[in-house]
Amino acid sequence: MRESTILDNLQLVKSIDRSSMLSSCVEAPKHYAEAAELARNVTVGFKKPRMIMVAGMGGSAIGGELLRDWARDRIEVPVEVCRDYSLPAYADKNALVFVSSYSGETEETLSILADALKRKCMIVCISSGGKLMEVAQRLRLPHVKVTSGMAPRAALPYMFMPMLTILQKMGLTSEADSEISETVKVLRQLVIENLPEVETINNFSKRLATGIEGTSPAIYGFGIYRSVAQRLKTQFNENSKTPAKWECFPELNHNEIVGWETAGEFSKWFSVIFIRDAEEPVEIRQRIETTKEILGKSKLKLFEVQSRGKSNLAKMASVICTGDFTSVYLAVLRGIDPTPVETITLLKQKLKQTGAKEKTIRELQKFK
């Protein structure tokens, strides 16, 4: 089979995955463990916030989505993700704002920092360096410095886990620590099973990549897997360089499914990946099964990814890890290096000429 000939040829895989995105998948357990420790010594003397906002873009925003889903049934303070230039009207001094940018150089995120400073929010910055770190140090804002030299999306554990540690330090949750050790254990086993050395026949991620090749995948999540579905979608975009979409149960039963009704031959260009959980609520299970039955009559290719572990963190991280591996193997099958994101780089270069970021930097310099 052509796919296994490519994916099981380690030399070939390495020559395509030149910057080794695969190694960040392999090192995921280590990254989660290290990332959880990063914020332990960061001092945050804030009172209990009325709301938590995570401001960031792309790979630095998805950690906020994960936090939102993880916190939904445990933290009584609302969590919101802000992917924009400014905060919503209700963000004031009672809002805890995580300003998250891996590079520390993202125009929109720096603009949110200026806005959060104006509104006197409680601010915690997370970056590997850049302007964000510079301003945080000058203004003595709490700053979590994460390991540098990675692609922002590969640094997801580093952008996500420090927020859990900080919320635990602030007394908003007590569950983070207990979930981390299980997560690391679950990920270690998952990595062993999906290593590039493991042949396609025994390697779930390689088989999934083979199955969806030539289609545009739609990832369907529910509950805590809403953000996870979104993460998988963006990894297929950035690593595999392929269009993808994500949706969520039960909402997708009220619109999305109708879109496939008359898709006919067109549907053969798409696949659907259902995220499953051995403990999924019965009403969701029935919806997924019924949706699969209906969509099974079309030409769509249907797949499932099963989560692992007991805790929400382990469950979410296990599907993310499977998706990360799959997106890299899909890139390899397509003969594309997963790491460079040339279109994003080009866009950022072009937008530099507008001067918007420079204007924000000048504004930030005025804060004392």
Question: Catalytic site residues?
Answer: 238, 254, 348
CA distance 257 to 59: 28
- Minimal distance, residue 60 CB to ligand F6R, in Å: 3
Chain residues 113-152 in contact with ligand F6R, contact rule CB under 6 A? 151-152
Q: Pattern 153-172, binding to ligand F6R, x per CB under 6 A?
A: x-------------------
Return all residues near 129 (Cβ < 8 A) that are at least 6 apart. Answer: 103, 104, 145, 148
Comparing CB distances to ligand F6R, the nearer of 154 and 208 is: 154
Q: Which of 24, 106, 111, 307 binds ligand F6R (CB under 6 A)?
A: 106
Q: Pattern 180-219, binding to ligand F6R, x per CB under 6 A?
A: ----------------------------------------
Closest alpha carbon to 31 in 191, 174, 196, 170 = 191
Q: Which of 39, 52, 101, 206 binds ligand F6R (CB under 6 A)?
A: 101
- Minimal distance, residue 318 CB to ligand F6R, in Å: 21
Q: Which of 17, 115, 238, 256 binds ligand F6R (CB under 6 A)?
A: 238
Count of residues touching ligand F6R (by CB under 6 A): 15
Closest alpha carbon to 271 in 244, 311, 309, 240 = 244
Burial (CB < 10 A; 0-12, 13-18, 19+), residue 66, is buried
CA distance 272 to 297: 13
Q: Which of 28, 63, 70, 109 binds ligand F6R (CB under 6 A)?
A: 109
- Minimal distance, residue 220 CB to ligand F6R, in Å: 22
Q: Which residue is nearest to ligand F6R (CB)?
A: 58
The DSSP result for 47-79, as a single string, is ---SEEEEE--GGGTHHHHHHHHHHTTT-SS-E
Cis peptide before 243 (omega within 30 of 0): no
CA distance 110 to 8: 43
For 253, the token pair is: 């039963």
Q: Pattern 323-362, binding to ligand F6R, x per CB under 6 A?
A: ------------------x--x------------------
Torsion of CA 60, 63, 64, 70, to 10 degrees: 180
Chain residues 56-95 in contact with ligand F6R, contact rule CB under 6 A? 57-60
102 binds ligand F6R (CB under 6 A): yes
CA distance 352 to 321: 34
Neighbours of 154 (CB within 10 A): 27
Comparing CB distances to ligand F6R, the nearer of 69 and 107 is: 107
Closest alpha carbon to 14 in 243, 276, 197, 145 = 197
Comparing CB distances to ligand F6R, the nearer of 215 and 234 is: 234
Comparing CB distances to ligand F6R, the nearer of 106 and 240 is: 106
Comparing CB distances to ligand F6R, the nearer of 223 and 338 is: 338
What are the residues binding ligand F6R (CB under 6 A)? 57-60, 101-103, 106, 109, 151-153, 238, 341, 344
